[in-house]
Structure 1
């Protein structure tokens, strides 16, 4: 699993780790049933505290992305993922609201926001990487 964390960045390490695992699932590089490293192994591999990895794994488990078994270890949820429901849509809207407000403050039009959203969506689906501009 390829992870690229910015240890000196403003975004907390646990948020970066969680977002990158979810993006790996979205891209298809992490598939249902795939094993993930143990908490200790991943912490050692990327040089972070094991409590940070444990926090991320617990959040991902609670949100239905992974399963944690005492005997089998950590894996991407083998049954796949639930489709977007009303609760998911409500949470997504709440997450988008401050981003859109910030974009408005910076004189970013609705069209520009939609275009940028589409661009990022397509980058994830086509497995193009990163951040540009």
Structure 2
């Protein structure tokens, strides 16, 4: 899996890294039980601070995406246990904003649903 970080972006690097790892899981590029590089190795590979990678790994662990084992490092967890009521609420809040912004920019419901379906389908055929 290739990690792409935009150092000019306003999005913090740890958030970009977190999103890249989650997308890698969704696309089947990172499989359950697979090890992520060590914090030191990931930092060197991407050219970022080790504390940034550590923060990313800790957030992914807190959200259940990875587990950390002293001997094996960071391991990808099963995604089947990640669906919670809290996540449903978070998803609704984020979607409300995205839909509201799309509406204000003139996107129709049909156009929005077409974009959404196409985006979702890319994860169904991994």
Fold match by TM threshold 0.5: yes
Q: Deviations over 1:46-86 (max 9, x none)?
A: 00111111111001001100011112211102x54315343
Q: Within 5 Å, give how 1:1-133 maps onto structure 2.
A: 1-77=1-77, 79-82=78-81, 84-126=83-125
Task: Provide the rounded CA distance (Å) in 2 between the counterparts of 1:108 and 1:114.
Answer: 10
Structure 1 segments (4+ residues) deviating >3 Å: 124-127
- Native 8 Å contact 1:65 1:81 kept in 2: no
Task: Provide the rounded CA distance (Å) in 2 between the counterparts of 1:115 and 1:84.
Answer: 24
TM-superposed CA distance for 1:116, in Å, is: 0.8
Q: Deviations over 1:75-126 (max 9, x none)?
A: 102x543153432211111121111111111111122111111111123444
TM-superposed CA distance for 1:5, in Å, is: 1.3
Task: Provide the rounded CA distance (Å) in 2 between the counterparts of 1:124 and 1:80.
Answer: 13
Could you tell me which runs of 5 or more consecutive residues in structure 2 were left unpaired when the two chains were aligned.
none
Task: Provide the rounded CA distance (Å) in 2 between the counterparts of 1:35 and 1:74.
Answer: 6
Task: Provide the rounded CA distance (Å) in 1 between the counterparts of 2:52 and 2:124.
Answer: 28
Q: How many residues align?
A: 126
Q: With structure 1 as the length reference, what TM-score do the two structures score?
A: 0.86
